[in-house]
A = this chain, B = another copy of it.
Amino acid sequence: MDKKKMRYTVEGGGEVSPAVIKRLPRYFRYLRELIRNGKLRISSGELSEMMHVTASQIRQDLNCFGGFGQQGYGYNVNYLYAKICEILGVGEGFRAVMIGAGNLGRALVRSPMFEKRGVDIVAMFDVAPELVGSSVAGVNVLHVDGLERFCEENVVDIAVLTLPKEYATEVAERLVKIGVAGIWNFTSKELVCPEPVVVENVHIGDSLMTLCYELRCRSLQEEEQ
């Protein structure tokens, strides 16, 4: 086993599976809602009903990180939320730049998504003369030529790519060279970067296609009946 990847280990020594990690943000969302609703504690049964997964799945997932529950009491919502936040790096104060100040980039910067997850957007970059020099939700739009210099002078952990896909590979190479640790890629170009750079590709359109596939299957079934 690669010791470098062993930060979180299941009791007994195994690595926490990617499937469990993928589920953690869902706990984050549900716990936020519970807190908003003033709920102080919750049993795995209640959480299970709310999240449409089995109580045993929940216990198993959380046991990977040490449990956090108490027999007969359930989970302390605030404590569990704090723990999930810690595991997910919400309190790390990650700083991000957004490359591409077009429609999607501007919509993302204006959404509360980053703030909720403790990520600070420190600058946007673009090439369009009508955008460079402007600001969106208080974030300045700079020319992408100044990317290297900005990243030398400021701590930047993450780059969010919302630029046209033709430029994705070139910009990603520049980001890797500068030493940006994480790339959140919204272009339809799939990026593979050398270790230890972390890349998350988001393909919004794929989910629309899955929906269309299901709709087509349903309509074919109806025709058959």
Q: Which residues of A contact B (CB under 8 A)?
A: 4-5, 7-8, 21-22, 24-26, 28-29, 52, 87-90, 92, 94, 103-104, 106-108, 110-111, 113-114, 116-119, 157-158, 181-182, 184, 188, 190, 192, 196, 198, 200, 202-221
- Interface majority SS (helix, strand, loop, mixed), chain A: helix
Distance A216 CA – B8 CA, assembled complex (angstroms): 11
Say whether A210 contacts B103, CB under 8 Å.
no
Say whether B89 contacts A213, CB under 8 Å.
yes
As for how many copies of this chain the complex holds, the number is: 2
Say whether B213 contacts A88, CB under 8 Å.
yes
Known contacts A24-B213, A107-B106, A188-B29; decide if A205 and B88 are in contact (CB<8 Å).
no
A88 — which chain B residues lie within 8 A by C-beta? 209, 212-213, 216
Known contacts A204-B202, A220-B7; decide if A24 and B215 are in contact (CB<8 Å).
no
Say whether A208 contacts B117, CB under 8 Å.
yes
- Choice from B108, B158, B210, B215 contacting A215 with Cβ under 8 Å: B158
